[in-house]
Amino acid sequence: MIPSFVQRPNRHPWFTLFFLLLHVVFHAGCRSAPEPVPDPLLLQRAQEQSERARQYAGREQWPAAASAWSEAVTSYALLNRRAEEASALHHHAVALRHAGQFEAAHAAAEKASALNTSLGDDDGWWRNQVLLLQIDASWNRLDEVAARMTLLKDQQARIQSPATRALFLNELGLWQLKHESVPDAMGTFQRAVEDFWRAHEDLGMATALANRARAYEANRDMAAAERDWVASLQIFMQQGDARGIATAMLGQGRTLFLQDKSPEEARELARRAADNFQRMNDRAGETEARQWLEKMGEAGAK
């Protein structure tokens, strides 16, 4: 029992009650701070930045698209919306690659990939790995492409999504076509076509068909190549993909010419492809198309 001379008389009970209440409020606040209220204006701005970036990308205005995606990345990071931040980073890297800023594109794709890993987003991780392959290929870092391709090829069974698997197979087929085995590339592109079909990804399927047509050309099977160019052209036209249309027209014209079939149609297809590449300011595509036109013209003159 505490001696009476140690106990202090409680002359002001209201004073004690005040401090008890203050103690409870203070510690309750420390344990569970209220959730921050999202800023609706910042979220709206992030969504508007993303939409503007998509519009720039649709018009192939890549520097403007990269800038808008960068703004969206910042906004989503401020909102702690990490999935949207990872997606914006991916698209930012795509735009930077098309703008020729390969080092910055690589850094953005690596950052997006790391975010995918922390979020447990395996599908997003694979899409960024495919993008890193594309960036390194555009950057002409072939040793890096080879190393990453070997690593990913051994892990491809992990891919759950047919669309994502098709994206990887398409890149693998291109690598095989240029650096390994043409027959292997043909088989890989066939698998890509099938997976794009399962995923109802028409543009992807048209792209894989066009790549398989190139493999058939490399294998000197011009009839099979012509069939794939015709099929891809039809899909590109349905989807309104101008670059795909020009590429497939040139491919069809080239394979007709190499089979000595329909020389007038072959020249007309190549001519329209060249004109469309010029309209799109695609100098490489235009140059290739006009070179084939010269060959066709010389053959016709003989």
Tens digit of pLDDT for each residue in 158-169? 999 999 999 999
Give residue 40's pLDDT. Answer: 78
DSSP 175-212: HHHHHS-HHHHHHHHHHHHHHHHHTT-HHHHHHHHHHH
Q: Are 116 and 84 in contact (CB under 8 A)?
A: no
Helix (H, G, I), strand (E, B) or coil at 3: coil
Give residue 136's pLDDT. Answer: 96
- Could you tell me which residues come within 8 angstroms of residue 88 by beta carbon, excluding any fewer than 6 positions away? 50, 53, 69, 72, 73, 76
Best CA proximity match to 205, nearest among 216, 217, 215, 197: 197
Q: Amino acid identity, residue 280? A: M
For the chain, what percent of residues have pLDDT higher than 90?
83
pTM listed for this prediction: 0.82
Rounded-to-integer distance, Cα 13 and Cα 195, Å: 77
Phi and psi at residue 10, in whole multiples of 5°?
-90, 80
Rounded-to-integer distance, Cα 76 and Cα 125, Å: 19
Best CA proximity match to 103, nearest among 135, 148, 60: 135
Q: Are 271 and 293 in contact (CB under 8 A)?
A: yes
Helix (H, G, I), strand (E, B) or coil at 279: helix
CA distances from 221 to 104, 166, 226, 263 (A): 40, 24, 9, 18
Q: Is the pLDDT of residue 285 over 70?
A: yes
Give residue 39's pLDDT. Answer: 64
pLDDT, tens only, 231-245: 999 999 999 999 999
Give residue 69's pLDDT. Answer: 97
| The pair of three-digit structure tokens given for residue 50, joined into one six-digit string | 């993303």
For the chain, what percent of residues have pLDDT higher than 70?
85
Local confidence band at 55 (pLDDT 50, 70, 90 cut-offs): very high
| The pair of three-digit structure tokens given for residue 41, joined into one six-digit string | 């204006």
Q: Amino acid identity, residue 1? A: M
DSSP state, 137?
H
Q: Please, what are the domains in the chain?
A: 44-140 (1.25.40.10)
Rounded-to-integer distance, Cα 238 and Cα 257, Å: 25
Q: Is the pLDDT of residue 201 over 70?
A: yes
Q: Amino acid identity, residue 208? A: A
| The pair of three-digit structure tokens given for residue 160, joined into one six-digit string | 């759950």
| Cα angle 205, 209, 210; round to 5 | 120
**Which run of H or E residues covers position 233?**
helix 222-239
